């Protein structure tokens, strides 16, 4: 008996104790979520997502890696912490040719690698040649394809040479317009600005097919010799140690913004040549960003420290950053609550926590991102080869209702997200007004009419509809398995059932199984796509449907759209260009190759003492602006206003950096 | 045997759609062709199989496809210690708690302790560790602030993962030990031992426990192999950089060499532990002799 009673006592004691503890903790920290104490050692602890594939900035294509590279590597330009617009980095200033097809960069002479070696224009030439080299296996090299002959070099293509002359595009009937150049004339420059050469497939069999398909080419290639495109042929030139010229094959007004991407950041030639693929190991690695590697513990922590060799080391505020790779969202939330981390990556608040987290006004941020979700429609398979059928399904979706239901997203009713490119939004409004506001948008009544016109009559049965002739059993809506994707799919399924009387079967698949289904157009009907912009220009979204080998996964090839895009991108006046792009966008929207769904939002948290870190369109942080504020009086409050708010320290630092850029010639 | 396992795994990986480089954004055809060429994915499957087997027979699993510049052997040996540390600690904890509880329950059959501990064991068996883990985190990290909720680092960080992992094994071992002991305590040779006039303690420690624990031993051999190799879901919940979470990730990444390496390693590990178990039967129970 005695032993029983004492056991009961212990139990009761334990219960009371734990209840007390629970009471204390929740009342003590109502303003902030969990333990909120600025770390004394000035080292930021950040959950970075999946384990980084490699520390080589030119190879992987993931976002977790991108954020780590921002700490370790620098390029010609960097991102503005709020807008992601390009700001001077290793280039202090630049000039742009009137045709926006050539850029001249003036480099700072104080740039150094982490081993103390100076960074010169030659290092940029090396880095870009290496990035495009087929054996580097870069998965982001295609971003650089506007650079002259880079695509040909990357694809192992060959020039066609007869005697001493090369076959040119204009020989086959292409047109060539090259505006004025910029910078001094050199031997290389003469070559790169001469009429563009024809480049054919490097593989003999494929080339033979290519030649056989085009009689003009066949005649021209008769008895010709094929010369491989070399690294030295791409349009990147070191004019002197601190002047770099990049020549493009056509005008690309968005190119400058693209140069902040990791692919264009400098890599160390000596180290790579000496160690080969082992160059990114702790004992070998040489970097050039604000931080350098201190410790690599795969799947546990990647620790970086301020690099005293960095040209702007005096303005790097943190002593170091600890990147924690992690897959489980709830684990990251636990660490955040326990005060063991200071911030985590975007989209990492689990759906079930969002409602509660919204209450933490000084920490939770949900800002629109340059990232969209939509359903691609396979236009190659019936019934969706009929544009009217596609339009009916697009018109039957109410995106506003979807976003109200989803809570963390904003409605997407066009192709490029709204709220990310302010000037483009204005241009789009103007074009929409020109079109009389008659653009493809939610209209259930019209959707039923369109579907009926397409040959699938929609019948009204009381308050519901049905469409008995529609081949529902042959189509499906595919998505990769995840809680939020399922919610969206069920919501849209319900809308189609209510508005068209069609119940589209849902099909979910594991991510890597789903991808080839979509990329290779094996699906019939709809497949979910999530697209994140690579740079801050609408072209990164509209370009999805551009060209023959486009990334839209819809099977559509539309020469009219391609022409509209080419014309827009060779327009030098930014405002006019935006209007032309907007026309192309509404044209493509009307082709109804996608069902627009949502603009994704950051769904992100950081502790209030972490400053200089913003929910910008990519949640990409230029880490040298980030600092830890010890004085609670200066902590971030009400982060809904964080983008409009002012931080004198960040603003001064930014102004000092931007001041080196002269007024640019040309546009932008 | 291990080679058969590797072959089957290779076949399954090959049947699964998607590849290590497939991502939301489709790669340009030229880039994809470069990758295929580099990794020999453009060769016929039987050639690829031959090359893979040849390498494995030499003990070389090659480099991870995803983590460029890191060899599979290096990754396995780097992450094994994390899983093994937690695994061995959990194993010892499970053995001590399980055997003690099981033996006492058997000695005091149908007592309050017997019912109490066996109910607790049933509960331990029924609650999966990914449920138990968060409950322990809630209590000990957020209510009591005793231990960190996740990540590797320091003794304090080991407590919750070890207890979580040990719980289900302790429960199982307790039930096995109780059943084994009950059977042995009723057997003829124990009666003989008692008849010789040995004290109850001597009967227990010198005779009963050796026979009574045979079921426990045959269970714990493979269990130790599994514990050493890490438990996938559990390691992810506690953000422990062990082999288990690497294994899960390698499958999601379609990182073929890494998948094959870990599978081969695990199958060898399990075979070794089964062998040890078979040998230990003979040492524990004089009735079992290998000729």
User: pLDDT tens digits for A371-414?
Assistant: 999 999 999 999 999 999 999 999 999 999 999 988 888 899 99
Report residue A13's pLDDT band, with 50, 70 and 90 as the boundaries: very low
Report residue B127's pLDDT band, with 50, 70 and 90 as the boundaries: confident
Is residue A23 scored above 50 in pLDDT? Answer: no
Collect all residues of chain B within an 8 Å Cβ-Cβ radius of residue A530: 24
Report residue B234's pLDDT band, with 50, 70 and 90 as the boundaries: confident
Collect all residues of chain B within an 8 Å Cβ-Cβ radius of residue A516: 17-19, 22
Closest approach of A14 to chain B, Cα-based (Å): 11
Question: Which residues of chain A from 463 to 522 reach within 8 Å of chain B, CB to CB?
Answer: 510-517, 519
Report residue A22's pLDDT band, with 50, 70 and 90 as the boundaries: very low
Residue A156's pLDDT is what? 92
Residue A667's pLDDT is what? 39
Q: DSSP secondary structure string, B65-81?
A: SSSTT-BHHHHHHHHHH
Report residue A244's pLDDT band, with 50, 70 and 90 as the boundaries: very high
Q: What is the mean pLDDT of the segment spanning A535-561?
A: 90
Is residue B81 scored above 70 in pLDDT? Answer: yes
Q: What angle do CA A119, A121, A126 make, to 5 degrees?
A: 90
Phi, psi of A7 (to 5 degrees): -65, -40
pLDDT in tens, B158-175: 899 999 888 888 998 999
Task: Mark residue A200 as left, alpha or beta (left: phi above 0; alpha: psi -120 to 50; beta: remaining).
Answer: beta
Residues A226, A229, A235, A237, Cα dihedral to 10°: -110
Phi, psi of A602 (to 5 degrees): -65, -40
Closest approach of A525 to chain B, Cα-based (Å): 18
B48 CB near a chain A CB, below 8 Å? no
CA dist., res. A301 & res. A51, Å (int) = 9
Is residue A19 scored above 70 in pLDDT? Answer: no
Residue A20's pLDDT is what? 40
Please tell me chain A's helix, strand, coil percentages from 3-state DSSP, rounded to the nearest 5.
40, 20, 45
CA dist., res. A549 & res. A267, Å (int) = 30
Burial of A140 (0-12, 13-18, 19+ CB in 10 A): buried
Q: Which domains does chain B have, with CATH numbers?
A: 81-290 (1.10.3720.10)
Report residue A466's pLDDT band, with 50, 70 and 90 as the boundaries: very high
Q: Which residue of A has its CA nearest to B240?
A: A300
Pairing mode, strands A343-344 and A43-49? parallel
Q: Which residue of B has its CA nearest to A551?
A: B26
Residue A406's pLDDT is what? 85
Question: Which residues of chain B from 219 to 258 reach within 8 Å of chain A, CB to CB?
Answer: 236-239, 241, 245-246, 249, 252-254
Closest approach of B20 to chain A, Cα-based (Å): 8
Report residue B221's pLDDT band, with 50, 70 and 90 as the boundaries: confident
Instruction: Report the 10 Å Cβ neighbour count for A414.
Output: 25
Report residue B45's pLDDT band, with 50, 70 and 90 as the boundaries: confident
Q: To the nearest whole percent, how much of chain A has pLDDT over 70?
A: 94
Q: Extract long-range pairs of A268-273: CB within 8 Å, 24+ residues apart.
A: A268/A113, A268/A115, A268/A117, A268/A123, A269/A123, A269/A126, A269/A127, A269/A130, A270/A117, A271/A115, A272/A130
Range name among A158-172, A297-311, A485-499 with the lowest pLDDT average: A158-172
Range name among A1-5, A508-512, B127-131 with the lowest pLDDT average: A1-5
CA dist., res. A389 & res. A580, Å (int) = 27
**A53/B150 touch (CB, cutoff 8 Å), yes or no:** no
Q: What is the mean pLDDT of the segment spanning B65-69?
A: 86
CA dist., res. A626 & res. A43, Å (int) = 11
Q: Name which of B23, B29, B70 is nearest A549 (Cβ-Cβ).
A: B29
Collect all residues of chain A within an 8 Å Cβ-Cβ radius of residue B239: 324, 326, 328, 331, 335
pLDDT in tens, A340-364: 999 999 999 988 889 899 999 999 9
Q: Extract long-range pairs of A630-633: CB within 8 Å, 24+ residues apart.
A: A630/A38, A630/A40, A632/A38
Closest approach of A367 to chain B, Cα-based (Å): 22
B25 CB near a chain A CB, below 8 Å? yes
What separation, in Å, do the N-terminal and C-terminal C-alpha atoms of chain B show? 24
B218 CB near a chain A CB, below 8 Å? no
Q: What is the mean pLDDT of the segment spanning B117-136?
A: 86
A134 CB near a chain B CB, below 8 Å? yes
Report residue A5's pLDDT band, with 50, 70 and 90 as the boundaries: very low
Is residue A18 scored above 50 in pLDDT? Answer: no
A155 CB near a chain B CB, below 8 Å? yes
Which residues fall within 8 angstroms of residue A85, CB to CB, at 6 or more apart?
A79, A257, A536
Please tell me chain B's helix, strand, coil percentages from 3-state DSSP, rounded to the nearest 5.
75, 0, 25
Q: What is the DSSP letter of A166?
A: E
**Sign of torsion, CA A423 A424 A425 A429?**
positive
Closest approach of B112 to chain A, Cα-based (Å): 9
Is residue B228 scored above 50 in pLDDT? Answer: yes
Question: Which residues of chain B from 180 to 209 reach within 8 Å of chain A, CB to CB?
Answer: none
Q: What angle do CA B14, B17, B20 make, to 5 degrees?
A: 80
Q: Name which of A54, A511, A519 is nearest B68 (Cβ-Cβ).
A: A54
Residue B267's pLDDT is what? 86
Q: Name which of A18, A53, A529 is nearest B144 (Cβ-Cβ).
A: A18
Collect all residues of chain B within an 8 Å Cβ-Cβ radius of residue A511: 18, 252
Is residue A224 scored above 70 in pLDDT? Answer: yes
Average pLDDT over all residues of chain A = 90
B75 CB near a chain A CB, below 8 Å? yes
Residue A26's pLDDT is what? 42
CB of A165 closer than 8 Å to CB of A115:
no
Closest approach of A235 to chain B, Cα-based (Å): 19
Average pLDDT over all residues of chain B = 85
B144 CB near a chain A CB, below 8 Å? yes
Both tokens of B241, joined, read 């950089």
A566 membership: H or E segment, kind and range:
helix A559-569
**Sign of torsion, CA A65 A67 A69 A72?**
negative
Sheet strands side by side (includes A43-49): A291-297, A301-306, A320-325, A43-49, A343-344
CB of B101 closer than 8 Å to CB of B170:
yes
CA dist., res. A535 & res. A541, Å (int) = 10
Residue B286's pLDDT is what? 67
Both tokens of A487, joined, read 């919610």
Q: Name which of B17, B19, B31 is nearest A142 (Cβ-Cβ).
A: B31
Is residue A419 scored above 70 in pLDDT? Answer: yes
pTM, entire model: 0.89
Q: DSSP secondary structure string, B158-200?
A: HHHHHHHHHHHHHHHHHHHHHHHHHHHHTSHHHHHHHHTT--H
**Nearest Cα residue to A594 out of A410, A347, A416:** A416
A206 membership: H or E segment, kind and range:
helix A204-212
Closest approach of B284 to chain A, Cα-based (Å): 36
Residue A180's pLDDT is what? 81
CA dist., res. B210 & res. A564, Å (int) = 84
Closest approach of A226 to chain B, Cα-based (Å): 18
B68 CB near a chain A CB, below 8 Å? yes
Is residue A15 scored above 70 in pLDDT? Answer: no
Residue A668's pLDDT is what? 40
pLDDT in tens, A107-138: 999 999 999 999 999 999 999 999 999 999 99
CA dist., res. A366 & res. A351, Å (int) = 13
A28 CB near a chain B CB, below 8 Å? no
**B79/A299 touch (CB, cutoff 8 Å), yes or no:** yes
Q: What is the mean pLDDT of the segment spanning B66-74?
A: 89
Collect all residues of chain A within an 8 Å Cβ-Cβ radius of residue B63: 277
Q: Name which of B28, B78, B145 is nearest A298 (Cβ-Cβ).
A: B78
ipTM score assigned to the predicted complex = 0.87
Greatest pairwise CA separation for chain B in angstroms? 85
B78 CB near a chain A CB, below 8 Å? yes
Number of Cβ pairs closer than 8 Å across A and B? 154
Greatest pairwise CA separation for chain A in angstroms? 108
Beta bridge partners, A605, equal A364
Both tokens of A128, joined, read 């870009």
Both tokens of A444, joined, read 């259930």
Collect all residues of chain A within an 8 Å Cβ-Cβ radius of residue B26: 519, 551, 553
CA dist., res. A498 & res. A496, Å (int) = 5
Q: What is the mean pLDDT of the segment spanning A38-67?
A: 94
Report residue A16's pLDDT band, with 50, 70 and 90 as the boundaries: very low
CA of A542: how far to CAs of A132, A147, A296, A313, A565, in Å? Answer: 24, 20, 39, 39, 8
């Amino acid at each position: 008996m005695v032993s029983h009673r004492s056991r009961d006592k212990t139990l009761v004691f334990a219960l009371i104790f734990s209840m007390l503890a629970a009471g204390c903790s929740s009342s003590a920290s109502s303003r902030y979520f969990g333990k909120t104490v600025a770390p004394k050692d000035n080292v930021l602890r950040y959950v970075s997502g999946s384990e980084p594939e490699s520390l080589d900035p030119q190879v992987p294509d993931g976002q977790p890696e991108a954020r780590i590279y921002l700490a370790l590597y620098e390029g010609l330009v960097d991102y503005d912490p709020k807008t992601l617009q390009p700001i001077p980095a290793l280039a202090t200033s630049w000039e742009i040719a009137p045709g926006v097809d050539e850029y001249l960069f003036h480099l700072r002479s104080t740039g150094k690698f982490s081993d103390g070696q100076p960074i010169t224009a030659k290092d940029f030439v090396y880095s870009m040649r290496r990035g495009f080299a087929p054996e580097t296996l870069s998965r982001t090299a295609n971003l650089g394809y506007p650079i002259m002959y880079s695509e040909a070099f990357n694809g192992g293509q060959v020039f066609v040479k007869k005697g001493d002359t090369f076959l040119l595009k204009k020989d086959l009937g292409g047109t060539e317009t090259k505006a004025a150049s910029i910078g001094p004339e050199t031997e290389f420059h003469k070559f790169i600005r001469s009429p563009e050469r024809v480049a054919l497939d490097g593989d003999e069999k494929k080339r033979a097919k290519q030649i056989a398909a085009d009689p003009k080419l066949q005649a021209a290639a008769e008895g010709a010799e094929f010369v491989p495109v070399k690294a030295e042929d791409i349009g990147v030139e070191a004019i002197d140690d601190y002047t770099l010229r990049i020549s493009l094959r056509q005008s690309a007004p968005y190119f400058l913004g693209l140069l902040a991407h990791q692919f264009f950041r400098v890599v160390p030639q000596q180290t790579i040549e000496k160690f080969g693929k082992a160059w990114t190991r702790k004992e070998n690695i040489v970097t050039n960003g604000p931080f350098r590697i201190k410790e690599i513990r795969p799947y546990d922590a990647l620790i970086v420290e301020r690099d005293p060799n960095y040209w702007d080391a005096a303005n790097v505020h943190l002593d170091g950053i600890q990147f924690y790779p992690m897959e489980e969202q709830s684990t990251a939330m636990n660490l955040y609550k326990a005060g063991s981390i200071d911030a985590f990556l975007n989209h990492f608040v689990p759906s079930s926590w969002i409602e509660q987290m919204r209450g933490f006004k000084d920490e939770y941020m949900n800002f629109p991102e340059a990232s969209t979700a939509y359903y691609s429609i396979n236009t190659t398979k019936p019934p969706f080869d009929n544009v009217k059928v596609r339009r009916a399904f697009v018109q039957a979706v109410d995106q506003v209702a979807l976003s109200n239901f989803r809570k963390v997203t904003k409605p997407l009713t066009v192709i490029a997200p709204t709220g990310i490119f302010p000037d483009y939004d204005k241009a789009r409004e103007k074009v929409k007004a020109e079109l009389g506001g008659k653009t493809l948008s939610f209209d259930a009544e019209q959707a039923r009419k369109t579907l009926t016109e397409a040959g699938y009559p929609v019948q009204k049965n009381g308050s519901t509809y049905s469409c008995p002739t529609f081949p529902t059993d042959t189509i499906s809506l595919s998505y990769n398995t995840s809680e939020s994707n399922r919610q969206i799919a069920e919501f849209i399924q319900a809308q189609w059932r209510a508005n068209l009387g069609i119940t589209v079967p849902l099909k979910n698949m594991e991510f890597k199984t789903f991808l080839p289904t979509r990329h290779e157009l094996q699906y019939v009907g709809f497949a979910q796509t999530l697209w994140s912009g690579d740079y801050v220009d609408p072209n990164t979204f509209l370009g999805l449907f551009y060209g023959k080998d486009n990334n839209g996964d819809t099977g559509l090839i539309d020469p009219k759209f391609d022409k509209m895009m080419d014309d827009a991108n060779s327009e030098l006046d930014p405002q006019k260009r935006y209007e032309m792009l907007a026309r192309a966008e509404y044209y493509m929207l009307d082709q109804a190759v996608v069902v627009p769904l949502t603009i994704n939002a950051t769904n992100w948290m950081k502790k209030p003492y972490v400053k200089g870190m913003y929910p910008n369109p990519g949640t990409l942080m230029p880490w040298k602006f980030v600092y830890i504020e010890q004085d609670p009086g200066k902590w971030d409050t009400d982060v809904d206003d964080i983008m409009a708010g002012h931080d004198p320290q960040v603003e001064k630092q930014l102004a000092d950096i931007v001041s080196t850029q002269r007024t640019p010639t040309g546009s932008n | 045997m291990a080679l058969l396992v590797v072959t089957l795994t290779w076949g399954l990986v090959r049947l699964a759609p998607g590849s290590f480089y497939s991502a939301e954004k489709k790669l340009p055809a030229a880039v994809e062709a470069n990758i295929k060429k580099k990794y020999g994915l453009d060769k016929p499957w039987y050639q690829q199989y031959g090359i893979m087997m040849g390498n494995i027979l030499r003990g070389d699993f090659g480099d991870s496809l995803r983590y460029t510049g890191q060899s599979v052997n290096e990754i396995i040996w780097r992450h094994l210690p994390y899983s093994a540390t937690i695994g061995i600690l959990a194993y010892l904890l499970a053995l001590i708690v399980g055997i003690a509880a099981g033996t006492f329950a058997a000695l005091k059959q149908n007592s309050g302790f017997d019912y109490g501990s066996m109910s607790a064991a049933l509960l331990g068996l029924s609650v999966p560790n990914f449920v138990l883990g968060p409950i322990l985190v809630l209590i000990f990290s957020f209510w009591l602030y005793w231990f960190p909720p996740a990540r590797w680092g320091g003794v304090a960080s080991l407590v919750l993962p070890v207890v979580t992992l040990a719980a289900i094994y302790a429960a199982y071992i307790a039930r096995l030990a109780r059943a084994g002991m009950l059977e042995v305590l009723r057997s003829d040779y124990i009666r003989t031992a008692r008849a010789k006039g040995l004290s109850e303690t001597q009967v227990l420690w010198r005779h009963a426990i050796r026979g009574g624990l045979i079921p426990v031993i045959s269970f714990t051999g493979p269990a130790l192999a599994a514990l050493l190799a890490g438990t996938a879901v559990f390691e992810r919940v506690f953000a422990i950089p062990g082999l288990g979470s690497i294994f899960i990730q390698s499958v999601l990444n379609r990182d073929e060499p890494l998948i094959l390496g870990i599978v081969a390693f695990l199958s060898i590990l399990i075979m070794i532990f089964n062998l040890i178990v078979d040998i230990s039967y003979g040492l524990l129970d004089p009735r079992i002799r290998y000729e």
